[in-house]
């Protein structure tokens, strides 16, 4: 089984990737997307989204990182894909799943699932631009409003030369509302001849088992579930018990150190509250801590409360 840490815009940045991969159990990380419009992005943009490029594309614990691109223009996506792998990205991933309205309005992410031919052109251009020894993958949802083009989109991605495909088992309209339709992944899997990775609504070991059973996929991608239970990859892979709350608190303090003294310190209050929101799904103590800090705006006050 191969387990990937999902890209989550504004949530799983390089700090979170570093911490979760050190907890362990992951084989690969995918970055937040680099948004491509009509130019070759400066190298600094790639280094900002993926500082691991300074470490040959690995997290500090040695897990490879792949840059994700989002856009609609095949030529510019191809140019930027080549740059990403040139800088050290372990292949490149293409985003056909982002449900954000601002992204979809500019014809990026999930809205492209209305146009299998455009998807084919994008993947084809990127595959031709990227060296053969570098893997090109894509991530898609089951569709935009419905699943009517799910198989057509997956076939477009496969026929264009992608090496693998992650399927988030919901449509754009579904958003993140449960359930995830894992059985749909199995239908798509039977229609294409490339490896498929299952994603969506995996919060614990039983979810992972049911997802793999219904999707008929060996490999999975974890997103929000890994934020709610930091050792979820080990829970799934090694039947490990959920991380004790005291260990989670240690991670919260460590993450606070990352954020307070890193380049995103001003976002720390919102980031830590957001993470506690995910953790509260598995830990009642996280909900209590959130209630204690929710009105606090100063980072130092929040950290003191976490440490108390």
Each residue of 238-281: pLDDT tens digit? 999 999 999 999 999 998 887 776 655 678 889 899 999 999 99
Nearest Cα residue to 96 out of 68, 132, 128: 68
Confidence of residue 118 (pLDDT cuts 50, 70, 90): very high
Confidence of residue 135 (pLDDT cuts 50, 70, 90): very high
Q: What is the pLDDT of residue 156?
A: 98
**H-helix or E-strand containing 68?**
strand 65-70
Q: What is the pLDDT of residue 102?
A: 82
**H-helix or E-strand containing 65?**
strand 65-70
Q: What is the pLDDT of residue 265?
A: 63
Q: What is the pLDDT of residue 267?
A: 81
**H-helix or E-strand containing 194?**
none
- For range 145-154, the mean pLDDT: 98
290's tokens: 């959130």
- For range 7-11, the mean pLDDT: 90
The beta strands (E) that lie in 143-222 are given as 164-168, 196-199, 219-222
Residue 231 region by backbone torsions, left for phi larger than 0, else alpha for psi between -120 and 50, else beta: alpha
- Residue 22: burial class (beta carbons within 10 Å; 0-12, 13-18, 19+): middle
pTM beyond 0.85, yes or no = yes
Confidence of residue 73 (pLDDT cuts 50, 70, 90): very high
Nearest Cα residue to 283 out of 237, 252, 253, 238: 252
As annotated, the active-site residues are 98
- For range 140-158, the mean pLDDT: 98
Q: What angle do CA 206, 212, 216 make, to 5 degrees?
A: 155
CA distance 308 to 87: 43
100's tokens: 């954000």
CA distance 297 to 11: 19
Q: What is the pLDDT of residue 6?
A: 98
Peptide bond just before 296 cis, omega within 30 deg: no
- For range 297-303, the mean pLDDT: 90
pLDDT in tens, 187-240: 999 999 999 999 999 999 999 999 999 999 999 999 999 999 999 999 999 999
The whole-angstrom distance between residue 131's C-alpha and the CA centroid of its chain comes to 23
- Residue 260: burial class (beta carbons within 10 Å; 0-12, 13-18, 19+): middle
Q: What is the pLDDT of residue 264?
A: 57
CA distance 95 to 46: 16
Please give the mean pLDDT across all residues of the chain.
95
Q: Is the pLDDT of residue 162 over 70?
A: yes
Least trusted range by pLDDT, from 173-182, 245-254, 260-269, 289-298:
260-269
């Amino acid at each position: 089984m191969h387990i990937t840490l999902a890209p989550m815009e504004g949530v799983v940045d390089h700090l979170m990737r570093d911490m979760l991969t050190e907890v362990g159990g992951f084989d690969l990380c995918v970055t937040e997307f680099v948004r491509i419009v009509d130019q070759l992005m400066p190298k600094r943009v790639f280094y900002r989204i993926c500082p691991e490029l300074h470490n040959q594309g690995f997290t500090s614990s040695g897990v490879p990182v792949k840059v994700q691109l989002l856009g609609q223009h095949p030529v510019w996506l191809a140019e930027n894909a080549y740059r990403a792998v040139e800088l050290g990205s372990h292949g490149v991933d293409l985003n056909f799943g982002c449900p954000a309205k601002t992204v979809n309005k500019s014809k990026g992410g999930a809205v492209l699932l209305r146009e299998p031919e455009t998807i084919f052109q994008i993947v084809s251009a990127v595959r031709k631009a990227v060296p053969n020894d570098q893997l090109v993958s894509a991530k898609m949802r089951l569709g935009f409003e419905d699943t009517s083009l799910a198989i057509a989109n997956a076939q477009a991605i496969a026929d264009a030369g992608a090496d693998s495909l992650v399927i988030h088992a919901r449509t754009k309209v579904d958003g993140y509302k449960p359930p995830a339709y894992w059985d749909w992944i199995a239908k798509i899997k039977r229609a294409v001849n490339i490896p498929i990775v299952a994603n969506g609504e995996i919060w614990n070991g039983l979810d992972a088992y049911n997802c793999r059973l219904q999707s008929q996929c060996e490999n999975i991608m974890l997103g929000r579930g890994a934020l709610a239970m930091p050792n979820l990859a080990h829970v799934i892979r090694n039947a490990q018990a959920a991380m004790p709350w005291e260990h989670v608190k240690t991670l919260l303090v460590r993450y606070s150190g990352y954020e307070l003294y890193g380049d995103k310190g001003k976002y720390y209050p919102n980031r830590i509250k957001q993470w506690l929101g995910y953790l509260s799904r598995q830990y009642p103590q996280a909900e209590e801590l959130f209630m204690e800090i929710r009105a606090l705006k100063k980072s130092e006050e929040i950290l003191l409360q976490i440490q108390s």
